[in-house]
Amino acid sequence: MNTYVINNEFIKKGIEKVVKFKEPLMNHTSLKIGGPADIFCIPNDIEELMKIISISQKFNIPFWVIGNGTNLLVLDKGVRGIVIKLGKGFKKMNFIDKIVKVGAGTSLLYLGRITLNRGLSGLEFACNIPGTLGGAIINNAGFNGNCMADIVQSVTFLTKEKKIESVPPPGLNFKYRECNLKDKSVIILEVTLQLKEGNKEKIESIIKEYIKIREVKQPVDKLSAGSIFKNPPSYYAGELIEKVGAKGLSQGKAAVSNKHANFIINNGNATARDVLYLIEEIEKRVKNIFGIKLVREIQILGEP
């Protein structure tokens, strides 16, 4: 990759201010782990995003999109290619009665506060999820029996052909912790949500209850990437991990949380290799003892 030539291309297109080279991705993940991205871009609108994709295609450079990095492990050598994080132009909201159109870069925590102030119900569960809306759609994020699929009216995304398309829920095929956009080369731009009118005090009470549950059950005071594995049918991943004796297991500065075994925490300067060791050790133990193959919920990005 000729960074001089590529940087000149960014300058030609007038978007050099949204581009950084060799940006440490540990600054953009909740685990605070990860090597540098060759190119890191924060486009502020669709026009800038289109220009970045054009450069990616012109020079045959792969790209990935991240949100708040809350369900992400970036490997120690970093990422070869372009990493895109949606900027301020993708954090807009437009309310029409109980329907809200929201940019994919919007924080779920912020969105939850805004809808609470408007007395709109349906996003109470999301106030516990520290990611962005785009990632929440891809992973059908949920909490306490509620999930994004319950409130989505449509999803607008950019295809690899740089076409903007909008799809209703049946076309997304929502399942437990996924939808069919997960393995497609698309970038979610905007989501339309159907909420309900509610009582502000009751909504706030539910949010506080959910926050309390999370504080009691999860290591919210530690650096983590949320749940590492999906729950297998009829089981809880955390219970299986505990039963195979992996709760509290450590490697370097990474450890399986003593509070919730489906969380791996960074106790300070942990490496991605440390975390991967624990993930693979858990998978091996659960498979050997219970015959169950755990499916990873955490996304892993970068050069091995």
Considering the candidates 121, 227, 257, 283, report the single residue annotated as catalytic: 227
- Residue 2, judged by CB atoms within 10 A of its CB (0-12, 13-18, 19+), counts as exposed
Q: Is 154 annotated as catalytic?
A: no
Q: Is 273 annotated as catalytic?
A: no
Which of 82, 97, 85, 108 lies closest to 6, judged by CA?
82
| DSSP state for residue 5 in the 8-state scheme | H
The Cα diameter of the chain in Å comes to 58
Considering the candidates 107, 121, 177, 224, report the single residue annotated as catalytic: 177
> Does residue 37 sit in helix, strand or coil?
strand
Which of 79, 81, 31 lies closest to 59, judged by CA?
81
Q: Is 214 annotated as catalytic?
A: no
- Residue 76, judged by CB atoms within 10 A of its CB (0-12, 13-18, 19+), counts as middle
CA 166 to chain centre: 21
Q: How many other C-beta atoms are found inside a 10 Å radius of the C-beta of residue 234?
A: 6
* Contact status, residue 119 vs residue 197, Cβ threshold 8 Å: yes
Q: Which residues does 9 contact at the CB level (< 8 Å), separation at least 6?
A: 55, 58, 59
Active site residues: 177, 227, 297
